Structure 1
């Protein structure tokens, strides 16, 4: 029981569910989000796991690592973010932009 339920019971107000529809702000909310990283090919797993484990182990030869998932940058998302950041930066060479989400219609 929440705080407001406590007050409703005291006043005798009935708890009736209210049906609400989701609010769509604009047409962009209808699209599908482009992931920043995608799964890589199975042929790259062995090489990447050996390199990552060697880097993590360093001088400690008795350590063990398990690589569970290997992802690579999505080339589509990378291209779109570079173009969008370049347009937004304009002629200000010292500006920095961060693209947090890309939505495809």
Structure 2
């Protein structure tokens, strides 16, 4: 798969987040909270949907995705937020010349 094939529009990203929130996160959120568990299935689904590798232009689109996830499970939304912020920091810190050009 090429980089162009993995690019997501904001609408697609929010739609994928909503699907995962409804299908994977919401059904288990209360039980996970009560048992003190974290939904590894949700993180796996976010990764498979391409949402863990996003670089999001600006705070509003990012907030839309995080809010969508938080409505279903705040713990997963927080971990997602921390992951994306850490990835963005690493991306910003690396010299552009070190990234592949193709």
Which TM bucket (shorter chain)?
under 0.3
TM-score normalised to structure 1 length: 0.24
> Larger C-alpha radius of gyration, 1 or 2?
1
Instruction: Name the structure where strand makes up a greater proportion of residues.
Output: 1
Instruction: Name the structure where helix makes up a greater proportion of residues.
Output: 2
RCO higher in structure (CA 8 A, sep ≥6): 1
